[in-house]
Structure 1
Amino acid sequence: MRKHNGELEIDEDLKMERRTWTVQRVSWVILILIVIAALLGFTGRGGVKGINKLTKSTASQAMEVEYDRFLRDEVEGEMKITLHNLKSANPTLFFSKEFYDKVRVEEIVPEPEHTEISPDGITYTFRATKPEFIILFYTKPLHIGPLQITAKGPDNEAVTMSQFVYP
């Protein structure tokens, strides 16, 4: 029901005003949540380490993988692999088929000595100079959606990484 407010001939609709205020408050809360998510790293690289960066190790702690849980489509990400207590000067790393199907490797530091692609996945062989060896993979995801990659270190122990690629 419309009423006139006092002396001015202005229509007043309190139900509509209350609905508008409610929508406005909910919109402010959603906007604040988006800003908080961006600051925490849910919308791209950066943010709080514990939220976007994950570290997984093999059962024997011989291999440790640090990777981004959330990625952006066609935006470069970094994966850091640390191999501990190496028994060989030529350690190998195996990645499941999904790695080379859904991810483009931009750069590997240090470069592998040998690369072998098989129907099951891709194997990189490196030349290690110390018992602790760090390998950096700079990659770009090729598809939007969930990404499940398995990596096997020199001792053939596996680490499975779950990532999600945003548009």
Structure 2
Amino acid sequence: MKKASLFIFLIYLTISCQTPTEEKSTAVGLDGWLEGTTEEKLEEVAHQLGGFSRTMVEVGYRYSELYWAGMDENWGYADHQIEHIIEALEDGLKRRPARTASSEEFMKETLPYMEELVKKEDKEEFLKGFQMLTSACNACHAKEGESYVVIQIPLNRTSPVRF
């Protein structure tokens, strides 16, 4: 046992004492679009993921789908949309943690409340809650200094999903 521990320790010393070599730049991805060192590739992937504006595109789509799901009384689809709104926001907040403070109430109170309303499967209650959700979206935008981004209840359905 002592020999094995000594052997592992010697391997560790050998590896840790080696001077790092410069990483070669390589290309990966379809047609090699992602080039550079590992760090450069990670920076490019982060850039491709974007900041919070890309998160808002997904949330906006799912907000509309949530509304129409409630109008159709398709409660499973409504629950699905809330789940994905939460997921998109969590991912966006990882990329832009500075937005966490302004989203805290929305994430901890507004969305869980909407989840509870969907579970009740009551269209009238859902519509009241959806109005509150809309107001909460606009309040969050105002906290971020983007009160010019005004959310309103959707007028037109763009998705082919129907119940």
Q: Specify the TM-score bucket, using the shorter chain as the normaliser.
A: under 0.3
Higher helix share goes to which structure? Answer: 2
In terms of Rg, which structure is larger? 1
TM-score, length of structure 1 as denominator length? 0.27
